[in-house]
Amino acid sequence: MIKKFFTLTILFLILTPVFSAVARAEEVVLSITGNGSSSQNTVEVNATTSTSVQQSNNAQITNNVNTDSNTGNNQTSSNTGSSDIQTGSISSTTNVNNQNINTNVAENKGCGGCGGNITAEISGNGANSINNINLSSANSIDIAQANSAQITNNSTANANTGGNQANNNNGDVTIRTGNITSLISILNKNINLNFDPQGNNNSSISISINNNGSGSINSIVLFFGNSLNYASNNFADIKNNAIQNLNTGDNTANNNNGAVLIATGDIISVITIGNENINGSFFNPPPTQIIPPPGGGPGPGGPPGPSEQPTSAPAPSGGGGGQVSQAAGQVLGAAIGGILPVTGGYWLLLMTFFCLTMLLAGGVLRFGSDPSPPAYATI
Amino acid sequence: MAFSLLLLIFIYYPVISLYIFPPKIDKKIYSKSFYIEIPKINVRSQIISNVDPFNETEYRKALEKGIAHAKNTSLPGEKSTTFLFAHSSDLPWRITRYNIAFFRLPEIQKGDMITVFRNEKTYKYKVSDKKTVWPNEVNYLLNTKKNQLILQTCVPIGTSLQRLLVFADPL
């Protein structure tokens, strides 16, 4: 009896820190209760847990947005009489969005699939009983997630509606341009991303050997060995350059002596570059269920997460020294489609070439060839 | 060789005959209500009014009958631009058969006279300018504010590379 008590006390003293740690983490309850005469009772708990999570993010982002708008350079010199220049109508929108950039979330709960609530009980006990409970749980989890993203977005949109000059006019010059609409939208969405939120295992083990009897030998052995190594590396170098130089005509009408109409306008150019999730690597659960938290995930040892970095520069519109003219583009619409009536053909020219070729070929055949018969023909 | 020479003569005879044997005035022309007369280049031809200048099928048909008047431009006497256009060249056998009224239009010079007859009224014009433009310069066709007459044909003769525009002011 003294021996039994001594053994239990020693085991309790040795294993209490480990046992209690495991109990806190996973609610493990082991008990050999009651005991009986001449019984040997043994409880062994070996729990080894090693967790190492390394997460690192590196993002260098450069966004340069330039938008210059101008409505025409506009000149009407030396006019005695009517001369109109109507430009106006520039509308340019530039959106550059780099959203969550780098995101690491590594929740390290549980032991990667091992039991959560464990209760092993040998109760009652009796005479001659030898009771053993052995639990050994060894968990080792290494997670290393690394992201690096270098993003460079440059978008330049210069507008201008026409160079516009109408020199030396002596009446009736109309230059209408206007109508530039240029949209640049660059979006690089979640970029690198690593998720590893495992530990949703709700498993429960309860083993119990009850009442026991005389001469009974009872033993409960539990062993869990779990090891998870997860390494994920992401690197993304994204460069999006979108340049739009828009202009509607250089527009000069020199030395005009009445009635010149230049109506250009109507440039619509849209550039949209996407690049959504980019790298990724999701471990558990499936990626559709994971929404990366704004501001980053609170993984153990992980750095503060990414923040949304919208960079948008709505461009100025209108301005300049001109009037807004909606009709200018419509005139162009008619003008672009058509040409001045075709009142000539190339048949005369082609037939002349054909005849001359035939004439030359005939001349070569008639006069250019050797009149004498070949040497072998005279033998 | 002989065949080639014959073919060349066949091709160019209608062109040469325009100069050597200028076509006689068809008296039927005087019965038409709308026609043009350019004495310098010996043109007397009927004008087909309101022909769509952007519809090739339509104006090709009209040009077989005479000179076309561009739709949405004014008629003589309406105080804005009148735009007339006609063939300068075509297939050789069509040169005499169909109207190539403006074959000799490049010969027109500043100060030459043009007369348009419409509904028994006479409208006289004096050539003020001459320009060679590219086919896409349709602004001459769209801007009809000025009171003038514009004649158009294709140049160089035998091609449709550029357009010759002759501007004439009313007298």
User: Which residues in chain B touch residue A174, judged by CB atoms under 8 angstroms apart?
Assistant: 143
Cβ A174–B146 below 8 Å, yes or no?
no
Cβ B102–A340 below 8 Å, yes or no?
no
- Mean pLDDT (whole number) for A186-191: 78
Task: DSSP for A192-247, please give it.
Answer: S-EE--B-----EEEEEE-S--TT-EEEEEEEEEEEEEEEEEEEEEEEEEEEEE--
- For the ranges A2-11, A143-152, A235-244, B32-41, the lowest mean pLDDT is seen at A2-11
* pLDDT tens sequence across B3-24: 777 877 777 776 777 677 766 6
Burial string for A195-206 (b: 16+ CB within 10 Å, else e) reads bbbbbeeeeeee
Percentage, residues of chain B above pLDDT 90:
32
* pLDDT tens sequence across A273-285: 777 777 666 666 4
Element (H, E) at A184: strand A180-188
Burial string for A222-256 (b: 16+ CB within 10 Å, else e) reads bebeeebebebebebebebebebebbbbebebeeb
Element (H, E) at B10: helix B2-20
Closest CA–CA distance from residue B122 to any residue of chain A (Å): 25
Cβ A340–B137 below 8 Å, yes or no?
yes
* pLDDT tens sequence across A142-153: 878 778 888 888
CB A176 within 8 A of CB A164: no
- Mean pLDDT (whole number) for A41-52: 78
Tokens standing for residue A287:
């990626």
Count the residues in chain B. Answer: 171
Edge to edge, the sheet with strand A40-68 lists: A40-68, A130-158, A217-245
- For the ranges A63-67, A76-80, A138-142, B111-115, the lowest mean pLDDT is seen at A76-80
- Quick one: pLDDT at residue A226? 77
Cβ B3–A337 below 8 Å, yes or no?
no
CA dist A79 and B106 (Å) reads 30
pLDDT tier, A40 (very low <50, low <70, confident <90, very high otherwise)? confident
Query: What helix, strand, coil percent values describe chain B, rounded to 5?
Result: 30, 35, 35
- Quick one: pLDDT at residue A26? 55
Phi, psi for residue A277 in degrees, rounded to 5: -45, -20
- Quick one: pLDDT at residue A220? 80
Residue A302, pLDDT > 50, answer no
- Mean pLDDT (whole number) for A320-330: 29
A291 touches chain B (CB under 8 A): no
pLDDT tier, A334 (very low <50, low <70, confident <90, very high otherwise)? very low
Residue A293, pLDDT > 80, answer no
- Which member of A261, A344, A347 has the closest CB to residue B142? A261
- Pairing mode of beta strands A309-312, A90-98: antiparallel
* Side chain identity at residue B137, one-letter code: E
The CA distances from residue B23 to B14, B63, B88, B97, B104, in Å, are 11, 18, 16, 12, 13
Residues 6+ away with beta carbon under 8 Å from A350: none
pLDDT tier, B109 (very low <50, low <70, confident <90, very high otherwise)? very high
Interface with A, mutate which of B8, B18, B96 (most A CBs under 10 A): B8
Mean of pLDDT over chain A: 68
Residue A313, pLDDT > 80, answer no
Phi, psi for residue A18 in degrees, rounded to 5: -65, -50
- Quick one: pLDDT at residue A100? 74
Residue A108, pLDDT > 80, answer no
Better-scored residue on pLDDT, A217 or B95: A217
Q: Estimate to the nearest angstrom the gap between the alpha carbon of A64 and the chain centroid.
A: 19
- Quick one: pLDDT at residue A10? 43
- Quick one: pLDDT at residue B126? 94
Residue A332's Cβ-count burial label (10 Å; 0-12, 13-18, 19+) is buried
- Quick one: pLDDT at residue A60? 80
- Mean pLDDT (whole number) for A217-240: 79
Mean of pLDDT over chain B: 84
The CA distances from residue B72 to A55, A158, A372, B33, B133, in Å, are 74, 38, 71, 19, 21
- Quick one: pLDDT at residue B97? 54
Better-scored residue on pLDDT, A373 or A70: A70
- Mean pLDDT (whole number) for A162-183: 77
- Mean pLDDT (whole number) for A236-265: 77
CA dist B59 and B26 (Å) reads 23
Cβ A355–B145 below 8 Å, yes or no?
no
Better-scored residue on pLDDT, A340 or A172: A340
- Closest chain B residue to A256 measured between Cα atoms? B129
Going along chain B from its start, the domains and CATH numbers come out as 28-170 (2.40.260.10)
pLDDT tier, B128 (very low <50, low <70, confident <90, very high otherwise)? very high
B45 touches chain A (CB under 8 A): no
Q: Is the ipTM of this complex over 0.85?
A: no
CA dist A231 and A194 (Å) reads 10
Residue A329, pLDDT > 50, answer no
Percentage, residues of chain A above pLDDT 90:
0
* pLDDT tens sequence across B23-82: 666 667 777 788 999 988 888 888 999 998 888 888 888 888 889 999 888 999 888 899
CA dist A319 and A355 (Å) reads 62
User: Which residues in chain A touch residue B141, judged by CB atoms under 8 angstroms apart?
Assistant: 340
CA dist B12 and B3 (Å) reads 14
- Quick one: pLDDT at residue A203? 64
- Quick one: pLDDT at residue B33? 82
The CA distances from residue A277 to A192, A219, A365, in Å, are 7, 53, 74
- Quick one: pLDDT at residue A6? 41
pLDDT tier, A331 (very low <50, low <70, confident <90, very high otherwise)? very low
Residue A348, pLDDT > 80, answer no
* Side chain identity at residue A296, one-letter code: G
- Quick one: pLDDT at residue A239? 83
pLDDT tier, A173 (very low <50, low <70, confident <90, very high otherwise)? confident
CA dist A311 and B129 (Å) reads 57
Residues 6+ away with beta carbon under 8 Å from B65: B46, B48, B99
